[in-house]
Amino acid sequence: MNSLAKRLLLDSKQGILILSPAQEEKRNQLLQYYSALYRVWGPQHWWPAQSRFEVIVGAYLTQNTAWTNVELALANLREADLLSVEGIRKVSLGKLQSLIRPSGYFRQKAVRLKTFVAFLDEKYGGLLDRLFAQPTLQIREELLNLSGVGPETADSILLYAGNHPVFVVDAYTRRILDRHCILPGKADYEEIRELFQRALEPAIRQQEFMLANGAPMLEAGFRGTAHPPSVMSTSARTALVQVYNEMHGLIVGVGKNYCKKSQPKCDDCPLQRFLPGVK
Ligand code: SF4
């Protein structure tokens, strides 16, 4: 982890990050994005998976490919009864490659899945419970040390498989921030993550209040990228994790449906009123 990442994580933990007025303004904007999107779309039910290990496999397979291709690869693994730690451990590399072929870069991804299971076996006796019982920072560092695991994959695994409170930054997040002149698209991953984590603090307090008072969840309206409820999307989690979970899902909804790489559909987008220059 680079020094900026370490400093931001430390500052975040200790709550001592001092923000400039410009940073405060950016934070407020992001909180408004969350409120606006959640109001129109409701819960997105991420991640569509039946187990923590399925989330992990999906996080690897989704690198550089569309989710529809990942679904085909996951279906192959499920049909072969290999979508488990034990399954990936025992299957031959060649067979694994052919099963996950639809997800692209299948040779590389098969080796990486095997590497993850070898790491889990060696360090945690093959048990995800033991891995996810470790402190967030420790798991993050260990995941980042594995071949083929960058910050987005590590954080997806932490947040969606482990229910650890880490916001996931993806290409859609960068595109929206860039187009709305909040941060350049090439901004440091940790800077973006920190900005979102700070921005969402009031939403987390509201979520805590709702949970404490048994408020019903909103029903999803138009479904940005909402998935049907799954074992993983309905698992118990803290308000902090829930808000990071939703925000990432909502952003993917904007990216997939409106904020496309070319020809964004700003006129129909729920974030249009926040676009600089739009009154
Ligand atoms: S599509 Fe939406 S998020 Fe993207 S630039 Fe336009 S208004 Fe902003």
Please report, for the domain that includes residue 31, its CATH number. 1.10.1670
| 275 alpha carbon – ligand 1 mean position (Å) | 7
Residue 264 lies in a domain: yes
Per-residue pLDDT at 45: 80
Q: What is the pTM for the complete model shown?
A: 0.85
Q: Is 252 in the pocket of ligand 1 (CB under 6 A)?
A: no
Contact assessment for residue 155 and residue 56, using Cβ atoms and an 8 Å cutoff = no
Q: Is 32 within a domain?
A: yes
Q: Mark which of 161, 195, 214 sits at the end of a domain.
A: 161
Highest mean pLDDT among 37-41, 127-131, 247-251 belongs to: 127-131
Q: Tens digit of pLDDT for each residue in 59-83?
A: 999 999 988 999 999 999 999 999 9
Residue 15 inside a domain? The answer is no
Same domain flag for 148 and 195 = no
- pLDDT above 50 (res 8): no
5: which 2 tokens? 């990442």
Distance 179 CA to ligand 1 centre (A): 7
The residue from 161, 194, 210 where one domain ends is 161
Whether residue 91 sits in one domain with residue 37 = no
pLDDT digits (tens, 9 = 90+) for 19-41: 677 778 888 899 999 999 988 88
> Is the CB of residue 256 below 6 angstroms from any atom belonging to ligand 1?
no
Alpha carbons 9 and 182: distance in angstroms, whole number: 21
Among 247, 272, 274, 279, the mutation site with the greatest number of ligand 1 atoms within 8 A of its Cβ is 272
- How many structural domains comprise the chain? 2
* H or E element that contains 165: none
Q: Are residue 56 and residue 134 in the same domain, yes or no?
A: yes
Average pLDDT of the chain?
Answer: 87
Residues 38 and 61 in one domain: no
Alpha carbon 171 to its chain centroid, in Å, reads 11
Q: Are residues 235 and 194 in the same domain?
A: yes
Q: 120-127: which pairs have CB atoms within 8 A and are 24 or more residues apart?
A: 120/85, 121/89, 126/85, 126/86, 126/89
Residue 143 covered by a domain: yes
- CATH number, residue 83: 1.10.340.30
Residue 13 placed within a domain:
no
Which domain covers residue 252, as residue numbers?
A: 20-46+169-274
Cα–Cα distance, 44 to 252 (Å, whole number): 10
The answer, yes or no, to whether any atom of ligand 1 lies below 6 A from the CB of 116, is no
Q: Which two tokens stand for residue 256?
A: 């997939």
- 229 with 268, same domain? yes
> What pLDDT does 107 receive?
97
CA 177 to chain centre: 16
| Pocket of ligand 1 contains residue 271 by CB under 6 Å | yes
Predicted confidence at residue 225, as pLDDT, reads 58
b/e 80-91 (16+ beta carbons within 10 angstroms → b):
eebbbbebbeeb
User: Does residue 175 sit within a domain?
Assistant: yes
203 falls in which pLDDT band (50, 70, 90)?
A: confident
- What's the 32 CA to ligand 1 centre distance in angstroms? 14
Closest C-alpha to 113, from 99, 134, 124, 132: 99
